[in-house]
Amino acid sequence: MSGHTYRMKNPGPRLANQAFLRDFTPVRLLGVLRFLMLAILCASLLRCAMYAQQLPVIRFVRNPDVAPDFKLKDFSGKNLSLSDSRGKVILLNFWATWCGPCRAEIPTLVKLQERYKDQLQIIGLVVDEDEEDPVRQVVAAEGINYPVAMAPAEVRVQYGGITALPSVFVIDKEGRVVQKHVGLFDPALYETEIRALADLPVAARVETFEDTGEVFLKHADRATSLPGVDFRNLSAEQRDAALHKFNAQQCDCGCKFTLAQCRIYDPACKISQKRTAEIVKAIAGSEAKTDKKENDVPKAEIPASPSAPATTQQPPSP
């Protein structure tokens, strides 16, 4: 009898599982599945958000300008223009044979042109060369597989003046300049930008920015800050007045740029740095003089209160 009671109070695993399944209705099962799916989705979104924050960032110009076109002859005698490569990403590379960083990045450009020949067109424009023979020797020695031509002065001017080498303008498939790089750059950055503009998968976040002279110097008038210029002691109105002068006056260093353009393109220029500092000081000083004059205006005498006794001067004693 006691054994029978023991079995009733402690049913075996089979009876317990049957009771659990009997109570676990399809409605409850659906609710559990929904909860698990929601938990998995939230965890996935969290991982994606954390991954996105860790991705490198590439930046392109918002509302970019169309790249100035040109018609040149490359060293193979073929016609060369930007319009011929419309529909491809273009790296317009200004370089010189005597430029060490320019020569150092040529092998990378050759590999990129080969790897993305269906999506990319690299164009090399040589500056500061009087003779073509040295250029032809470099083209042959480096195995350059993209067109190379001499860059006439008018083309350099159209691209803001090329005062630093190498200078690479990144042009999208619609022929618009979306980025510019000066100096020797990381090959991985070039490749990531090419893939993004060619609508290929990239492990990077793409952000946009307004060009305030970083890409085209003609947009320097949009800048609200300039390298090496201290606006901290100026009000907003004074800062605008200073920026207006920077964009109206030409730098005397020989660059033929405005003071604002020179500060953006050549932050090491001592002449534009000194002149902009003088302008800032003058504007801040003129405001200080105005405040001083206002404080020096004599104030009207305040009559004595009627309730106060008048003060009279006693005559001297005889």
Catalytic residue IDs: 99, 102
Alpha helices in 205-298 (DSSP H): 236-248, 259-265, 270-296
Residue 183, phi-psi category: left (phi > 0), alpha (psi -120 to 50), beta (remainder): left
SS3 at position 187: helix
Place of tokens 């002691």: 233
SS3 at position 189: helix
**Tokens at residue 88, please?**
């491809």
Confirm if 265 and 164 have CB atoms less than 8 A apart.
yes
Report the candidate in 207, 209, 211 with the shortest Cα–Cα distance to residue 57: 207
Place of tokens 């250029």: 135
DSSP string, 191-221: HHHHHHHTT---SSEEEEE--SSSS-GGGGG
How far apart CA 114 and CA 202 sit, in angstroms, is: 19
